[in-house]
Amino acid sequence: MKISPLLFTSAMIGLVFPACHDAAPPVTKVAAPAPVPVTVGKVQNVAWDQTVSVVGTLYPKDEATLAAEVEGAVEKTFVEFGERVKNEQELATIDSDSYQAQLQEKKGNLARAEANLANAKQNLVRSMRLADTGAVSDSDLDTAKAMVAQFEAEVAASKGTASVASLNMERAHVKAPFDGAVASRIVGRGDFVKIGSPLFTVVNDRILKFIFQVPERFGSQVKKELDVSFSVDNYPGEIFKGKVFLISPVVSTATRSFNVGALVANEDLRLKASTFARGSLTLQRGVNTPVVPLDAVVNYAGLSKVFVIEKGQAHSRTVKVGRIQQGKQEVLEGLKEGEVVVLTGQGKLVEGASVAIPAEKETAKTASNNP
């Protein structure tokens, strides 16, 4: 069948014009979100002391468990726990009458030996004079010399036993090894003790040792005479001070820390030994430290974050924070001096959001954050 050219042209026109009537409507532009109003502050460097937080225990500088140096029954005790004692003050006596008697016996033996020696020396002198005249034989002279030697040995032995008896007599009187206080009395009158039996515990609590651990990464910075400050629970809000005097040469493999000891004066006896204490060790004075206003840091899912303003947009950044002082937060990692951070309005911000910063508020807020 043959189609007319005119009919074909008409059909094509009919197909084209309906297509023009079905064209898609124009795209409507979506308005950009309005900038989020925020207030801001700047990261600043301030002179803060570099410190490390520490916890530990207060120990007496000197502590001694006095043990019996002689055997026998405890005759008397002169002090109780808690009492102050002086160096060489008598604390107890142990069977002193028996040791006094032994001392007298040994002194008597020594006196007898010395008398025998003196007599033997006189005999020797006489024998030597008579030997010059031939009135004494050589054997008699040798006997006289032997008697002198024998009694000299007896004198030496008697002196030794008398010295031991005298020492035991002294040891029967138990004395304080230094100025301090009695922490515990272990025995009482009538107790029988052997050599080595514990009697008293005495401590010097006018000077205390604050022993604490420091992480090994600070090993090269810890030196003697560094300042330590700390507080204890029974004096809330009060700060006590000391200075480093002991540094362990060994790092614990369990804690990756090493022990440090600071001497603490306790002349007023307010602090007690074995008290738990917490504080800080000052490693360096006046170190430039980046800080931001406390409001700039928000915590989310265990992370500390801030919003940093760059080219009018807010960008979330994870930071590592440290100490808080006077409304400022130390930033150990993640920020540098001069960067602008958001202080209020973080709850409405998302990554890359545009922000609106009221000029007068920004100026006032930044000025108020200046140290």
Domain boundaries defined on the chain = 37-47+288-368, 96-171
CB of 204 within 8 A of CB of 60?
yes
Both ends of the chain: CA-CA distance in Å? 99
Flag whether the pTM goes above 0.75.
no
| 151 alpha-carbon distance from chain centroid | 62
Please check whether the two domains, 37-47+288-368 and 96-171, share a CATH topology: no
Q: What is the mean pLDDT of residues 272-285?
A: 94
Fold of 96-171: Helix Hairpins (1.10.287)
Q: Which of 32-46, 136-150, 217-231 has the lowest mean pLDDT?
A: 136-150
Sheet holding 192-193, edge to edge: 173-175, 90-94, 72-77, 192-193
In this predicted model, what pLDDT tens digit does every residue of 164-198 receive, in sequence order?
999 999 999 999 999 999 999 999 999 999 999 99
Per the model's pLDDT, the better-predicted residue between 344 and 18 turns out to be 344
Percent of the chain with pLDDT over 90: 61
Q: What is the mean pLDDT of residues 243-254?
A: 96
Q: What is the mean pLDDT of residues 128-147?
A: 76
| Strands, E assignment, the chain | 36-37, 39-42, 44-67, 72-77, 84-85, 90-94, 173-175, 180-185, 192-193, 198-215, 227-232, 240-247, 257-265, 276-293, 298-300, 303-310, 313-325, 328-333, 340-344, 355-356
CB of 319 within 8 A of CB of 341?
no
Distance CA 55, CA 61 (A): 18
CB of 206 within 8 A of CB of 196?
no
pLDDT band at 365 (very low <50, low <70, confident <90, very high): very low
Q: What is the mean pLDDT of residues 305-326?
A: 91
Structure tokens, 347: 């709850």
Per the model's pLDDT, the better-predicted residue between 310 and 301 turns out to be 310
78: DSSP letter = -
pLDDT band at 24 (very low <50, low <70, confident <90, very high): low
As a CATH number, domain 37-47+288-368 is: 2.40.420.20
Distance CA 63, CA 17 (A): 110
**Helical packing angle, 138-171 and 96-133, nearest 10°:** 160
What pLDDT score does 86 carry? 95
Per the model's pLDDT, the better-predicted residue between 46 and 3 turns out to be 46
What pLDDT score does 214 carry? 96
What residues are paired with 319 via a beta bridge?
A: 304
User: Is the pLDDT confidence value at 7 over 70?
Assistant: no
**Torsion over CA of 122, 124, 127 and 132, rounded to 10 degrees?**
-110
Q: Which of 21-25, 28-32, 199-203, 215-219 has the lowest mean pLDDT?
A: 21-25
Q: What is the mean pLDDT of residues 206-232?
A: 95
CB of 40 within 8 A of CB of 315?
no
Dihedral (CA of 49, 51, 53, 59) sign: negative
Percent of the chain with pLDDT over 70: 87
pLDDT band at 228 (very low <50, low <70, confident <90, very high): very high
Range with the largest mean pLDDT of 126-135, 174-183, 322-331? 174-183
